[in-house]
Amino acid sequence: MFEHKASEKACAPQLNDVALNRKVKALQSTIKKWAHQNDLWGDCGFKTWIEHYDSPPHAQNPCVLLFCFEGNLLTLFNGYGHDPDGLIDQFRALIENSDFEWDMIDHTTIGFWGKNLGLQRAYAEMLAWRWNSSLIAPEYSLIHESIFQFFSTNDGKALRQLSPRRFEEYLDSLFQARGYRTELGPGTGDRGVDIRLYSSEMSGSILTLVQAKRYALSRPIRLEAVQALTAAVDYDDDDGPARRGLQKRGLFVTTSRFLPSAKSFAERKATHIGLIGGEDLSRLSKLAAEETWKRRAALVQPDNVMRLVKLKRNDTLEGQVFHARTGYGMIDNDFALCVKSSAGAALLCPLPKIQEGHDGCHPSGRHIPDTSIHAISSLQSDRMFMAKVKQSQRDSTTYLWGEKKLYMRWDGKPVPFDYCD
């Protein structure tokens, strides 16, 4: 019923975010005008993929817009009634003349994708940045390496697109991932100190005062800025009981670069001041991604998983088995084990399922998760996924949202399945 006619030609010019957003707005306007003209607009609206599914967009060819509808459009697009006016053909012709192709995602949602390779790549870059930027927080980054991996690429371009405050929050997550205890400043009135880092070294306990500058490459850091950080370290008077006796250092972090005079000054103050420029920051992000991945891989080692399963407690998500009802036109089930959690996120590893009972022909029956030693020994770190921790608005029930599925704590009882459409 629905056809795709994607051009094989890639767009020659580089499209910026303004141009990409303008194309989406034009598509929305075209669809809305057509719907109004045909008295179809009731119970309709547009959403982005991230807004609707709260999930990452496709890495190569992301959906750039969702058209959600009920009422007359639901009847029209699902073929429940006659179409004497040829409205489906009209809609197809409208989209054919745009920069996009379309398809039904489900019976109430149409998705739109870039029509050629150039658009697909441009939207993939823009939407990947939006998704990863939304996850800049220790509760997400400490259990998933993809955020650091994303910001380690593109020669720092993605970091330079962040707001100054978002950049500070990213650095806070980055240093936590590297093992520091951190204190993120208020963002304003911080007297030149954006983040405080605490660490222990052979020479004693260290307090590092971080100054962060999210600058373009054309705006290098000058000598005066590094000297100002030195003064901030020397005259820092925030000496609470937890900070007394600590050695103090300064660290200047930027997405840009340092002028020679600033570098020479820092070299003379090597034990007092450190510099991290754009290239160093990309390397640091890559290291954080590698270290986070190694910690993730250790989580699914059989000894650790068996410990979690045996010691599971109701006051923590870790070690708990979660269940999601799946299937479109049928009933199926997915199970996952929570192997790590933070305040707002959980790391889940899929569990195989067992048919505990069926009707003899296998189209229906009951599922339970497989938590046998064999199943646990087969768990793979590359299949783990992050889910956001949510609270029910009606009661205090905790549930997890990941990979476009709603996971609830499994109650230990077999759950039905029915493969009959």
Residues facing 323 on adjacent strands: 335, 408
Helices 223-234 and 260-268 meet at what angle, rounded to 10? Answer: 30
**Residue 11 above 60 pLDDT?**
no
| pLDDT score, position 85 | 87
106-115, 347-356, 385-394: the lowest-pLDDT one:
385-394
| The CATH number of the domain covering residues in 136-289 | 3.40.1350.10
pLDDT band at 421; cut points 50, 70, 90: low
**Residue 145 above 90 pLDDT?**
no
1-5, 236-240, 251-255: the lowest-pLDDT one:
1-5
The strand ranges marked E within 70-190 are 100-106, 109-114, 181-184
What residue segments make up the domains of the chain, in order of their start? 17-125, 136-289, 304-418
**Residue 188 above 90 pLDDT?**
no
Mean pLDDT, rounded, for 283-289: 94
Residue whose entry in the numeric block shows the structure tokens 């009422």: 71
| pLDDT score, position 22 | 96
- Residues near 347 by Cβ (< 8 Å), separated by ≥ 6? 143, 144, 296, 299, 338, 339, 340, 341, 384, 385, 386, 387
Q: Are 6 and 117 a contacting pair, CB within 8 Å?
A: no
| pLDDT score, position 244 | 61
- Residues near 37 by Cβ (< 8 Å), separated by ≥ 6? none
SS3 content of the chain, % helix, strand, coil (to 5): 35, 30, 35
**Residue 241 above 70 pLDDT?**
no
**Residue 111 above 90 pLDDT?**
yes
**Residue 238 above 70 pLDDT?**
no
Architecture of domain 17-125: 2-Layer Sandwich (3.30)
Question: pLDDT of 48-61, one tens digit each?
Answer: 999 999 999 999 99
**Residue 2 above 50 pLDDT?**
no
Q: What is d(CA 88, CA 48) in angstroms, rounded to the nearest whole number?
A: 23
Higher pLDDT, 37 or 200: 37
Question: pLDDT of 30-46, one tens digit each?
Answer: 999 999 999 999 889 99
Supply angle C-alpha 67, 70, 74, rounded to 5. Answer: 85
| pLDDT score, position 62 | 97
In the chain, what percentage of residues exceed pLDDT 90? 63
Mean pLDDT of all residues belonging to the chain: 88
Helix (H) or strand (E) holding 308, with range, is helix 302-310
Give the pair of three-digit tokens for residue 230: 């030195």
11-20, 183-192, 230-239: the lowest-pLDDT one:
11-20
Q: What is the DSSP letter of 161?
A: T
